Structure 1
Amino acid sequence: MQNASLKRSPGSIRILCEEAAKYGVTPEQCLEDTGLVTFDLYQNEATVTLGQEVAAIENFIKYAPDRPGMGIEIGRRYRPEVFGIWGYAILSSPTLRAGLKTAIDFANLSFVIARLRLNELEDPPALNLDISGLPKSVESFVLERHLTVVSNFTSQFLPRFSMSRVVFETTLDNPAVASAIKTELGISVTLSCRRNSIILPQKLLDMPLPQHNPATMENCLRQCRSLLNLENSDIPEMTAQVREATLLEINNDPTIVSIASKLGTSERTLRRRLAKEGTSFRKIQTEAKLAIGHELLSTAGLDVSTVAWRTGYSEPSSFVRAFTKKYGYSPGSLKHSSRYGDNKLTC
């Protein structure tokens, strides 16, 4: 699951409360102990946290009839246009691979609850849905909703594509849930697996999408980047300053002493303030190096050894280990996928 404190639009909770009446559940019951009232869900500038949305889902499940498939039924409301600029950016992508990468890059702008990761090292490739940290009571509902969103997008991406070609491997063990997913979405389900993953046909990732428009896509991505910067504006002050200063000085191999001097403070004070914000200079520096390495591999076509050297790693193997640990896939696999000219993939 993504960070519970992540802020987002109240639109997803609004949909839940509007649909809840069909199951005999009131909006007040859905919002019980969330700190929200119905009025909050209809304010243009209002935000809620992911934790509040999960709590609302828990409440809905507590009061609704106990049956599988509710996540699918409510998930049908989550059509691409409901997601705003995030949805349009995905639809305007050139291929499904590019669309998935855009979805992952800007997941914080969506109503996605699971942490997404596209694993192309497997054959066939898999879109992993990490729901660790979710209450057990909501897992089925959330996974059903996510599968329905994928189905909703696919029906617009590739209207002739049959979801029967997709397999969902899940940690769930309820045959009734598998039956509901198969009946309603056409997706085959394998229960009691070690992960929650959508297994995709290999050729599907490279299939051109009919709504691709380069100008529209670039405009959407530009707006997504702008919105994401606004969403991330609550990054602790000193962390943000150190990150920016480190990125600007990365070619000069900055140290905590040089960054502290640049920011007009002492090394000791900088360490203390970063520790108070839950991070360290070493962590920020590593993330900055890997972010630049990711960009070089995605856009410059450099080999892994060169990128490792350019980002300050004396040994390519050290760069490969750090990169793989952060992103969940190797730098070599990213360089391979960059041949398709897609947007960078981050998780």
Structure 2
Amino acid sequence: MSWKDLNRANMTVQAMMNILEREGYNPSLCLKGTGLSVEDLLNSETKIEDQVEVSIIEKALDILPEKAGYGLTVGQSLRITNFGIWGFAILTSPDVRSAFETMSRYSEMSIMLSKAGMEQKGDEVYFVLNMDHLPKKVHEFMFERYYIMIVNFLKEMLPDYPLSEFKICLPFSNYNYENQLKSLTGLCIYSRQKNYSIVANKALLDAPFPKTDPLAHSHFISECDGMLKSHKSLPDYAQRVREYIIRESIFSPKLEKVAESLCISDRTLKRRLQEERHSFSEVVLDTKMALAKELLDTACLPVKVVSARLGYSEPSSFMRAFKKWWGVSPAKVKEIGQSKECTLDNGY
């Protein structure tokens, strides 16, 4: 049995079925179309694929009354120790920063089915969960499950830390849901934010864990790295740099600022990019040229506007860079875009 495959999915599905039963619904309703039966779930050898787990959660949420808390309930039954090598790599970390970097780097191979990350802004650190690839129906559930896992982990590792100082950010506004979540967590809820995130004081990152094992941590990280090489969908550091550029709309970013937002040193970011056979400047230019092509071809914006948006002081500099990168002039790409019946009036 793989360290990654079964515990999370089986425990989550069983917990969802228990919730359905307590709410007065037939638990087997959420198994329709999955090829699984209730009896299958009682067999520890039954394998539940990631997409099946998501489908079952989505079906269950369609059946249940709409309210906050289902993810919190399911997450209470989960512990980091349930998740094999990934969990042990986190538990043996020397401090919170290392633990969350490990959690972030290998997140898609573990419980979240999502992209976990850290962003530092001023005196605060944001523990972000990106679920763009998942159905919107399950986003609140997944984030609640992520939140309660973080809380339980920190309660175990730092029992004296004041978790009541946390804040929760949501990328939407729903008065009823926000009030319910506030009542369940006791935290301040901020709506209409950039993403789903848990916010803490950045000082938390440097809090040491009283018990750690450097040798074991090194071993588990090595094992995770080996699995990471065969897990192609996990976001790498080049992708994280791209996401920073797009999210912040800073098209000539400083490496130090990007590294700070990822809660790592600039030397670590350079090393991670080198391991992926990238350089920081290459990733920045690649991102700018991809955005430029999109703005010209799809949005049909004028070349001068695109040049200015991407931070070029002179359109001529942008045009030279674009042609060198794509082998064709930006005017030609824009012409192709206009031939696709762009409806905006955007002359060069």
Range of TM-score over shorter length = 0.5 to 0.7
CA displacement 1:130-162 (0-9 Å, x = unmatched):
122433332222222221111111111211112
Q: How far apart are the structure 1 equivalents of 2:201 and 2:83?
A: 25
Counterpart amino acid of residue 281 in structure 2: S
Are 1:317 and 2:281 matched, yes or no? yes
Q: How far apart are the structure 2 equivalents of 1:212 and 1:145?
A: 25
Counterparts in 2 of 1:157 and 1:177: CA distance versus 1, 3 Å: farther
Are 1:109 and 2:109 matched, yes or no? yes
Larger Rg: 2
**TM-score relative to the length of structure 2:** 0.62
Q: Which deviates the most, 208-217 or 121-130?
A: 121-130
Q: Is the 8 A contact 2:58 2:138 kept in 1?
A: yes
Q: Is the 8 A contact 1:69 1:177 kept in 2?
A: no
Counterpart amino acid of residue 48 in structure 2: V
Counterparts in 2 of 1:80 and 1:131: CA distance versus 1, 3 Å: same
Are 1:52 and 2:16 matched, yes or no? no
CA displacement 1:307-327 (0-9 Å, x = unmatched):
87x9586xx63355459999x
Q: How far apart are the structure 1 equivalents of 2:146 and 2:117?
A: 13
Counterpart amino acid of residue 23 in structure 2: Y
Q: How far apart are the structure 1 equivalents of 2:268 and 2:128?
A: 28
Counterparts in 2 of 1:223 and 1:66: CA distance versus 1, 3 Å: same
Counterpart amino acid of residue 152 in structure 2: N
**TM-score relative to the length of structure 1:** 0.62
For 2:146, the equivalent position in structure 1 comes to: 146
Counterparts in 2 of 1:325 and 1:55: CA distance versus 1, 3 Å: farther
Q: CA deviation at 1:55?
A: 1.3
Counterpart amino acid of residue 55 in structure 2: A
Q: Is the 8 A contact 1:181 1:188 kept in 2?
A: no
For 1:130, the equivalent position in structure 2 comes to: 130
Are 1:190 and 2:190 matched, yes or no? yes
For 2:21, the equivalent position in structure 1 comes to: 21
CA displacement 1:49-94 (0-9 Å, x = unmatched):
3322221112111222332222212221122223233223212211
Counterparts in 2 of 1:197 and 1:59: CA distance versus 1, 3 Å: same
Q: Which deviates the most, 176-185 or 137-146?
A: 176-185
Task: State the SS of the aligned residue for 2:124.
Answer: coil
For 1:200, the equivalent position in structure 2 comes to: 200
Counterpart amino acid of residue 32 in structure 1: K
What is the correspondence of 1:37-76 to structure 2 with a 5 Å cutoff? 37-44=37-44, 46-76=46-76
Counterparts in 2 of 1:299 and 1:183: CA distance versus 1, 3 Å: closer
Counterpart amino acid of residue 144 in structure 1: E
CA displacement 1:197-243 (0-9 Å, x = unmatched):
222211001110123221332333344345556x64xx7xxxxxxxx
For 1:287, the equivalent position in structure 2 comes to: none
Q: CA deviation at 1:100?
A: 0.7
Counterparts in 2 of 1:302 and 1:207: CA distance versus 1, 3 Å: closer
Task: State the SS of the aligned residue for 2:198.
Answer: strand
Task: State the SS of the aligned residue for 1:48.
Answer: coil
Q: Is the 8 A contact 1:164 1:188 kept in 2?
A: no
Task: State the SS of the aligned residue for 1:120.
Answer: strand
Task: State the SS of the aligned residue for 2:113.
Answer: coil
> Across the two proteins, how many residue pairs are aligned to each other?
253
Q: Which has the higher contact order (CA 8 A, sep 6+)?
A: 1
Task: State the SS of the aligned residue for 1:155.
Answer: helix
What RMSD, in angstroms, separates the aligned Cα atoms of the two structures?
A: 3.6
Are 1:224 and 2:188 matched, yes or no? no
For 2:211, the equivalent position in structure 1 comes to: 211
Counterpart amino acid of residue 205 in structure 1: L
For 2:35, the equivalent position in structure 1 comes to: 35
Unaligned runs of 5+ in 1: 1-6, 236-293, 327-347
Q: How far apart are the structure 1 equivalents of 2:221 and 2:166?
A: 28
Q: How far apart are the structure 1 equivalents of 2:103 and 2:158?
A: 17
For 2:172, the equivalent position in structure 1 comes to: 172
Q: How far apart are the structure 1 equivalents of 2:278 and 2:138?
A: 44
Q: How far apart are the structure 1 equivalents of 2:288 and 2:153?
A: 29
Q: Which deviates the most, 134-143 or 148-157?
A: 134-143
Counterparts in 2 of 1:135 and 1:317: CA distance versus 1, 3 Å: closer
Counterpart amino acid of residue 214 in structure 2: P
Overall identity of the aligned pairs, in %: 25
Q: CA deviation at 1:193?
A: 1.9
Counterparts in 2 of 1:80 and 1:25: CA distance versus 1, 3 Å: farther
Counterparts in 2 of 1:322 and 1:36: CA distance versus 1, 3 Å: farther
Counterparts in 2 of 1:224 and 1:190: CA distance versus 1, 3 Å: same
Q: Which deviates the most, 176-185 or 204-213?
A: 176-185
Q: CA deviation at 1:46?
A: 4.3
